A and B are shown apart, each in its own frame.
Chain A
Amino acid sequence: MAKIAIDPVTRIEGHLRLEAQVENGRVVDAWSSSTMFRGMELILRGRDPRDAWVFAQRICGVCTTVHALASVRAVEDALGIQIPDNARLLRNIIASTLDIQDHVVHFYHLHALDWVDIVSALKADPAKTAELAQSISDWPKSTAGYFKATQERIQRFVDSGQLGIFANAYWGHPAYQLPAEANLMAVAHYLEALDWQREMVKIHAIIGGKNPHPQTFLVGGMASPVDPNTQKAINTGRIAQMRALAQQALEFVSKVYIPDLLAIASFYKDWAGIGGGVGNYMSYGEYPLSGDKSAASMWAPPGVILNKAVGSPPAAVDQAKVAEYVTHSWYSYASGDEAGLHPWKGETEPNYTGPKPPFDWLTTEGKYSWLKTPRYDDAPMEVGPLARTLIAYAAGRPRTVEVVNSVLGQLGVGAEALFSTLGRTGARGIETLLMCEQLLGWIEELSANMGRGDLAIHNSEKWNPASWPKEAEGWGYTEAPRGALGHWVRIVDGKIANYQCVVPTTWNGSPRDAKGVRGPYESSLIDTPVADLEQPLEILRTVHSFDPCMACSVHVVNSRGVEVNRIVVTK
């Protein structure tokens, strides 16, 4: 029996540490720990709720926009504000653009190197690589010359002796199973995707002035004016630009990402039986298709699936069933650390009981993470693209059913393959493809509204805080790239009295709960093979399949009320 620690877990957002017990080449126990804490909720207290989204958006710069969206929705829910249709569309366009861009970046730049051996790509035959690429896609760049140029570029890089971000990786590890040609194809697309993501995300800059951290959300709507007849608004030219970028996205995803995903997956089918995890899945639902907030009008339906039961329709989600534990988190509850609390009653104080740095091991029998432990109806939930895809599948959404069945058929595996490391990675791709198809539709809808003379982007009735009730509380939700995200806000006398975020990676990366039940990362790592303790590549595969985003996931609420000091700095 050996214990290993992976810290830092790289190719993720933020600071994640994993500790694992390995016995006879398999993980028998695992602990997931976040090692960074900032305290957004404390910092928001006492501020103008209309400012909250600007702060909250900065929880994460990778899934930029998702916290902004949850934040304005929470305040709108508290104040009873309906947004104009154009604001709905602009938000859908921004959020789906992020999902698409973020998923592609995850696949190529954060996850691919778990499956793709760059060093092996140097041995590939460029002509055969072209044959392989042409056999799976009609992407026009797939020529022998193109792959040869890529290979030479990598060879020059290697010959320089400075391997930069690729130094000290696990190249040559026995778990790498792709032929050299598939490795070269993937490396070429790694570089291509780096250029592509920069283009795709210009949709954010068109609407929001910049990316990361577009600056365009408002409580009550959006700040990006629409008008086909002016120069300084989203006009016909801007619509055309967005349409072109969305079309390029669909082209790239359907001709590069999806074929690569299927090709790589076909060599790693054993990973359809590894990394299953808790088997419970939850989604809040996202992308309203109209002003109504019913489950049926959500493009990605809300729902809960327990014990992998995708054969029947998912249960409805009730936010009242969310509770957070701190039994194994570095916080304490006044009423004791064993009971879970709903976000409205969140009352947490940081209480670091871990080892004094520098340290080698966490005290995992006690508290061991800055993440709290959210549970739904006391059960751990996996959230993210796999959860959304399974819920849409179980709900019988036709396009999801069609594409999921097609992918399973092409790989020659059954539906049980979805509950795995490979299933998680595959579902992300499927979702990206479907979202690319839908994004174009939202751009056309916006254009049609403008054509009809509907130029409203903001409901200003309650913009002035003088129009607000003395006290109000609300919750706002979204489905971020990594899963279910909720913000809860309480407003008193026009200021934030309490604010809380329960975030996708908190759901997935949480430590054990009061009953000792493992979180989804921890649970999914059980039985993962580890061929070489010094090179735990397999553990990275499973944890990366969740796409961890640690900065999002760490938070604290202090219900005792702390005044925010207004600090004036004079320099």
Chain B
Amino acid sequence: MPSRTPSLEVRLRDHGISRREFLKFCSLMTATLALPAAFTPKIAKAMNTAARIPVVWLEFQDCAGNTESFLRSAAPTTAEIVLEQISLNYHETIMAPAGAAAERSLAETLEAYPGKYIAIVEGAIPLKDGGIYCTINGRTAQSIAQEVCSNALATIAVGACAWDGGWPGAGVNPTGAVGLREAVPGLKNLVTMPGCPVNVVNLTALLVHFITFNELPATDQEGRPLFAYGQLIHNNCERRGHFDAGRFVEIWGDEGHRMGYCLYKMGCKGPQTYSNCPSVQWNEGTSWPIGAGHGCVGCMSSNFWDNTSPFYERIPHLEGFGVEATADMVGAVAVGAVVIGAAGHAAASAVRAKVQPSGVQTDD
């Protein structure tokens, strides 16, 4: 592993980040990871002793939206992550070298740290026609992903595209675009963080979890960490009271819309989407889509481009929702035409089944 650098706390203090601020960050991480407050000191200790783990960020059929999300990181900031917490050895969008020099950065990482780096993958991978729809330096996306991810300590697929092909894989899927787990089957220690894009708070929390516990967090059967994708938006939504009381937005800009009524009738997919959006929100808690007045489009659900569109049509059957609260029944009655069946309950339970990956040991 790389030589040790001064502890994170020392490094942060050196450029004006106080211990108080550092602990505040650790508390935020504890909260995002849904850990008891007692874990804050453990995270602080882990962040202080971790070496800078090499990270390789690959982009394939992507829009760089997850990269942009990463650039919005606030606690810690992107500069802190890149300069003091990890060693981001390859990332096409922001790395200084280009062409052969950039490829050298990738090759050197793979050679110097076999099995000891984290791979982050953004974008879908096209399999049709021999992979000609995405090449980098003359190589196909699939062949690069195969080489890089199969030798990684852990791999994180960020965003909807790397998870299940995203929009390039929607509809007629002209390029045979798939997610990473399909393009490179059998990857060990693969965590998927869907969303369009991934919320950087969750990505940061995952890295912190890994550094703190030396293992990946518990995930659902789709490989999504439970700390971020474990609960229905609907059950934590700030507009839930309006749903239960039968108060809905009927027309964009009407009084109900201005009052923050429920967006169910405008097509909101919050009742079928698992995400911590309502609690962590976006851009340092500035807001989130439902909070700003537009329905959820279900971007953290599987194959959402086909499965949750049309985006402005209300969910016809609220299957799989309302499994644990009688309050849901109140809302259901208010909405009408809601089916809550045994099948729905079973589906929801299956999604929540906790899948614990094998422990992953870091070098130190």
Say whether A64 contacts B68, CB under 8 Å: yes
B206-233 toward A: CB 8 Å interface, digit per residue (1/0)?
Answer: 0000000000000001100000000000
Say whether A15 contacts B136, CB under 8 Å: yes
On whether A212 and B143 interact (CB within 8 A), knowing A43-B168, A230-B259, A535-B101, the answer reads: no
Say whether A233 contacts B258, CB under 8 Å: yes
Partner of A35, one of B95, B136, B197, B251: B136
Say whether A212 contacts B197, CB under 8 Å: yes
Residue of A with least CB distance to B303: A569
Instruction: Give the distance in Å from the alpha carbon of A501 to the alpha carbon of B170 in the complex.
Output: 18
Partner of B171, one of A43, A152, A167, A221: A43
Whether B140 sits at the interface, judged by CB under 8 Å, is yes
Whether A2 sits at the interface, judged by CB under 8 Å, is no
List, in ascending order, chain A residues with CB within 8 A of B177's CB. 38
Would you give the shortest CB distance from B249 to chain A, in whole angstroms?
A: 9
Say whether B93 contacts A61, CB under 8 Å: no
Q: Number of B residues whose C-beta is below 8 Å from A?
A: 111
Say whether B252 contacts A218, CB under 8 Å: yes
Say whether B98 contacts A11, CB under 8 Å: yes
Instruction: Give the distance in Å from the alpha carbon of A208 to the alpha carbon of B286 in the complex.
Output: 10
Whether B341 sits at the interface, judged by CB under 8 Å, is no
Instruction: Give the distance in Å from the alpha carbon of A146 to the alpha carbon of B218 in the complex.
Output: 43
On whether A61 and B66 interact (CB within 8 A), knowing A13-B93, A38-B175, A169-B96, the answer reads: yes
Residue of B with least CB distance to A153: B15
Whether A8 sits at the interface, judged by CB under 8 Å, is yes
Say whether A11 contacts B96, CB under 8 Å: yes
Whether A456 sits at the interface, judged by CB under 8 Å, is yes
Would you give the shortest CB distance from B351 to chain A, in whole angstroms?
A: 9
Partner of B52, one of A12, A152, A162: A162
Whether A182 sits at the interface, judged by CB under 8 Å, is no
Say whether B93 contacts A198, CB under 8 Å: no
Categorize the interface residue count of chain A: 35 or more
Would you give the shortest CB distance from B112 to chain A, in whole angstroms?
A: 10
Say whether B138 contacts A61, CB under 8 Å: no
Instruction: Give the distance in Å from the alpha carbon of A12 to the alpha carbon of B99 in the complex.
Output: 12
Binding-face segment, B22-30, B39-47, B73-81, B321-329: B73-81
Would you give the shortest CB distance from A188 to chain B, in whole angstroms?
A: 11
List, in ascending order, chain B residues with CB within 8 A of A153's CB. 14-15, 83
Say whether A225 contacts B253, CB under 8 Å: yes
Whether B129 sits at the interface, judged by CB under 8 Å, is yes
Would you give the shortest CB distance from A525 to chain B, in whole angstroms?
A: 14
On whether A165 and B253 interact (CB within 8 A), knowing A211-B72, A564-B171, the answer reads: no
Most chain B CB inside 10 Å of its own CB: which residue of A51, A360, A455:
A51
Instruction: Give the distance in Å from the alpha carbon of A556 to the alpha carbon of B143 in the complex.
Output: 25
Would you give the shortest CB distance from A53 to chain B, in whole angstroms?
A: 10
List, in ascending order, chain A residues with CB within 8 A of B284's CB. 198, 202
Residue of A with least CB distance to B100: A534
Most chain A CB inside 10 Å of its own CB: which residue of B74, B99, B253:
B253
Instruction: Give the distance in Å from the alpha carbon of A566 to the alpha carbon of B105 in the complex.
Output: 42
Say whether A42 contacts B172, CB under 8 Å: yes
Instruction: Give the distance in Å from the alpha carbon of A88 to the alpha carbon of B339 in the complex.
Output: 40
Instruction: Give the distance in Å from the alpha carbon of A536 to the alpha carbon of B102 in the complex.
Output: 12
Say whether A211 contacts B283, CB under 8 Å: yes
Whether B92 sits at the interface, judged by CB under 8 Å, is yes
* Interface residue ranges of B17-56 to A (CB < 8 Å): 52, 54
Instruction: Give the distance in Å from the alpha carbon of A524 to the alpha carbon of B215 in the complex.
Output: 50
Would you give the shortest CB distance from B192 to chain A, in whole angstroms?
A: 13
On whether A358 and B138 interact (CB within 8 A), knowing A161-B3, A232-B258, the answer reads: yes
Residue of A with least CB distance to B57: A165
Would you give the shortest CB distance from B205 to chain A, in whole angstroms?
A: 17
Instruction: Give the distance in Å from the alpha carbon of A378 to the alpha carbon of B174 in the complex.
Output: 30
Instruction: Give the distance in Å from the alpha carbon of A208 to the alpha carbon of B91 in the complex.
Output: 28
Whether A395 sits at the interface, judged by CB under 8 Å, is no
Whether B156 sits at the interface, judged by CB under 8 Å, is no
Say whether A165 contacts B63, CB under 8 Å: no
On whether A13 and B64 interact (CB within 8 A), knowing A43-B167, A357-B139, the answer reads: yes
Residue of B with least CB distance to A50: B312
* Interface residue ranges of A26-52 to B (CB < 8 Å): 35-40, 42-48, 50-51
Residue of B with least CB distance to A543: B98
Instruction: Give the distance in Å from the alpha carbon of A551 to the alpha carbon of B251 in the complex.
Output: 35
List, in ascending order, chain A residues with CB within 8 A of B98's CB. 6, 8-11, 536, 540
Whether A428 sits at the interface, judged by CB under 8 Å, is no
Say whether B257 contacts A225, CB under 8 Å: yes
On whether A210 and B283 interact (CB within 8 A), knowing A51-B312, A216-B294, A227-B258, the answer reads: yes
Residue of A with least CB distance to B350: A571
Whether B342 sits at the interface, judged by CB under 8 Å, is no
B144-155 toward A: CB 8 Å interface, digit per residue (1/0)?
Answer: 000000000000
Would you give the shortest CB distance from B56 to chain A, in whole angstroms?
A: 11
Whether A109 sits at the interface, judged by CB under 8 Å, is yes
On whether A198 and B74 interact (CB within 8 A), knowing A162-B54, A540-B98, the answer reads: yes
Binding-face segment, A189-197, A283-291, A299-307: A189-197
Instruction: Give the distance in Å from the alpha carbon of A154 to the alpha carbon of B60 in the complex.
Output: 31
List, in ascending order, chain B residues with CB within 8 A of A214's CB. 292
Instruction: Give the distance in Å from the alpha carbon of A43 to the alpha carbon of B124 in the complex.
Output: 14
Would you give the shortest CB distance from B245 to chain A, in whole angstroms?
A: 15
Say whether B260 contacts A160, CB under 8 Å: no
List, in ascending order, chain A residues with CB within 8 A of B243's CB. none
On whether A10 and B97 interact (CB within 8 A), knowing A153-B83, A455-B258, the answer reads: yes
Instruction: Give the distance in Å from the alpha carbon of A534 to the alpha carbon of B104 in the complex.
Output: 12
Say whether B171 contacts A565, CB under 8 Å: yes
List, in ascending order, chain A residues with CB within 8 A of B289's CB. 208-210, 215-216
Say whether B134 contacts A455, CB under 8 Å: no
Whether A207 sits at the interface, judged by CB under 8 Å, is yes
Binding-face segment, A122-130, A265-273, A274-282, A457-465: A457-465
Partner of B97, one of A50, A170, A230: A170
Whether A164 sits at the interface, judged by CB under 8 Å, is yes
Whether B358 sits at the interface, judged by CB under 8 Å, is no
Residue of B with least CB distance to A211: B283
List, in ascending order, chain B residues with CB within 8 A of A37's CB. 126, 133-134, 175
Whether B352 sits at the interface, judged by CB under 8 Å, is no
Say whether A223 contacts B294, CB under 8 Å: yes
Whether A55 sits at the interface, judged by CB under 8 Å, is yes
Partner of B78, one of A152, A162, A194: A194
On whether A8 and B92 interact (CB within 8 A), knowing A194-B71, A213-B197, A571-B222, the answer reads: yes
List, in ascending order, chain B residues with CB within 8 A of A233's CB. 257-258, 260, 293
Say whether B252 contacts A460, CB under 8 Å: yes
Say whether B294 contacts A161, CB under 8 Å: no
Would you give the shortest CB distance from B290 to chain A, in whole angstroms?
A: 7
Say whether B99 contacts A7, CB under 8 Å: yes
Whether A254 sits at the interface, judged by CB under 8 Å, is no
* Interface residue ranges of B281-320 to A (CB < 8 Å): 282-284, 286-294, 297, 302-303, 305-307, 309-312
Whether A185 sits at the interface, judged by CB under 8 Å, is no
Partner of A60, one of B64, B86, B164, B293: B64
Q: Interface residues, chain B, CB within 8 Å of chain A?
A: 2-3, 5-6, 11, 14-16, 52, 54, 59-69, 71-74, 77-79, 82-84, 86-89, 91-105, 108, 124, 126, 129-140, 143, 164, 166-168, 170-175, 177, 196-197, 199, 221-222, 251-253, 257-260, 282-284, 286-294, 297, 302-303, 305-307, 309-312
Interchain residue pairs A-B with the least CB separation, the first 6: A61-B65, A232-B260, A209-B292, A169-B96, A39-B174, A209-B289
Query: Can you sample 8 A-B contacts with CB below 8 Å?
Result: A6-B98, A36-B135, A118-B96, A164-B87, A211-B282, A216-B289, A224-B293, A226-B258
Q: Interface residues, chain A, CB within 8 Å of chain B?
A: 5-15, 17, 35-40, 42-48, 50-51, 54-55, 58-62, 64, 105, 109-110, 113, 118, 149-150, 152-153, 156-157, 160-162, 164-170, 191, 194-195, 197-198, 201-202, 204-216, 218, 220-221, 223-227, 230-233, 350, 352, 354-360, 370, 455-458, 460, 463, 534-536, 540, 551, 556, 562-569, 571
7 more A-B residue pairs beyond the given contacts A38-B177, A354-B132, with a C-beta to C-beta distance below 8 A: A38-B61, A51-B311, A61-B62, A156-B14, A164-B89, A225-B258, A232-B258
